[in-house]
Structure 1
């Protein structure tokens, strides 16, 4: 079912009372988060297309705070927010801004929360390529380089198609905003349970995240690239279920997703 919010949304029904709000990453659309909804079918899910992405409109401001405001405007009254990559930055921003509405947050191999020198140098190198060359070509190559193992080829081809249809100006500006965002204030302000799931070689040091906030729980998948929802959703779903069980009182879950 498609909603009438400023952002394009898709609602997937479920029996649980507490919905998941699913936020995709750079140059993707809501379709990138469908594997999450499919792996946790008991819960209702709201999937969004971010500003400038998918079927949502463009906007002059597509910074991480602006994206967070737009997603909050389209969000259910109370929810668990799940964000992948750039969507992880947005999910943390949302959790810090709206603790009265956010029951919990899950970051799936989030883009940097607090960038190390190495991460910043890598990102700035990619930004220079985006400015100097055809950004659509670079996004296509980037998408293909994110996998560590086999996936559903047709489904991933569809994702690459979506990514390479992104407006070149949005490609550049969205990545510039990823680099510009500093997640330290949001992490310091965090007052809700958060699960940070990373890959073998993560952008974010999980120990740093856990040390920065007592509300952070961490997990790591095995043998997966950045697109964890395509490669390791079985591991991700198991971690989310375990986290919901352990943090049930703080999150306020009904308890049926823990089985």
Structure 2
């Protein structure tokens, strides 16, 4: 019987962000559940937008035991799910993510940046939001075909809802929890793109020492957008 695999998208995405990965999975082995997170897609108007609410949604949608994979913001939520219900998560796959911004000054700066960006995004059309989000330096080098499908997914969102996501569960809003990742005793796989230098650093310098049993994989040629840039490689690592 196939094992349930829950896939959590990143900020600005929807469940359709996993479209490139799903055909690469072994469906005799996995039964994927691909929810929208609060503030995104079909859950754009679900409130409150909070980490606790997102965790509750994932646990309500999943069976008693499941494999959990989260990308970027979805990876932060996946870790919180695994810490909240470790007996239910049989394996954890973290893709281009972190456990928060550890430096207080850097976190304060990120909070200010997220709030300013939220104010900017809130008044945008969806087309303006797509252009603004894709223009960030972290996404430089995204292959054109991947960028096009990603733009289609970004456009499935409401900019006003995404502004609230930035304010409530954005990278700055989340209290860092590096002191707790050692509690993740289930098998853990950490996946980063070689061009995504900041997250390569998180994988090697922060996760690896704290979760000695974790397997760290760096996908050559990929940046931050692994599900759209390297779907076959990611599916193989999920397997």
The TM-score normalised by the length of structure 1 is 0.75
Residues 96-105 or 206-215, more deviating: 206-215
Per-residue CA deviation, residues 34-59 of structure 1 (Å, 9 max, x unaligned), is 22222113321111011221112523
Aligned partners of 2:14 and 2:36 also within 8 Å: yes
Partner of 2:220: 222
Match of 2:78 in 1: 91
CA–CA separation in structure 2 for the residues paired with 1:229 and 1:30: 12
Structure 2 gaps of 5+ residues are: none
- 2:79 match: secondary structure: helix
Output the CA distance in 2 between the equivalents of 1:149 and 1:52.
25
Distance 2:198 2:23 in 1: 25
- Contact 2:181–2:210 (CA under 8 A) maintained in structure 1: yes
Aligned structure 1 segments of 4 or more residues deviating by more than 4 angstroms = none
Asked if structure 2 preserves the Cα contact closer than 8 Å seen for 1:199 and 1:220, the reply is: yes
- Checking the alignment, whether the CA contact within 8 Å between 1:224 and 1:232 is kept in structure 2 is yes
- Which is further off, 127-136 or 40-49? 127-136
Q: C-alpha distance in 2, partners of 1:40/1:142?
A: 28
Residue 166 of structure 2 aligns to a residue whose secondary structure is helix
Q: How does 1:94-243 map to 2 (within 5 A)?
A: 94-110=81-97, 112-117=98-103, 120=107, 123-124=110-111, 126-135=113-122, 136=124, 137-145=128-136, 146-152=139-145, 156-176=147-167, 177-178=169-170, 179-181=172-174, 182-184=176-178, 186-200=180-194, 201-203=197-199, 205-207=202-204, 208-241=206-239
Larger RCO, structure (CA 8 Å, separation 6 or more): 2
Which of 34, 38, 47 is 1:60 aligned to?
Answer: 47
By how many angstroms is 1:151 displaced? 4.7
- Corresponding pairs, count: 223
Distance 1:202 1:36, change over 3 A: farther
RMSD of the TM alignment (CA)?
2.5
Matched position secondary structure for 1:55:
helix
Counterpart for residue 246 of structure 1: none
Determine if contact 2:190/2:203 at 8 Å carries over to the other structure.
yes
| Residue 139 of structure 1, CA deviation | 4.8
If the length of structure 2 is used for normalisation, what is the TM-score? 0.81
The offset of 1:197, in angstroms, is 0.8
Q: 1:44 to 1:120 in 2, by over 3 A?
A: same
> In the superposition, relative to structure 1, how do residues 122 and 41 fare at CA in structure 2: closer, same or farther (>3 Å)?
farther
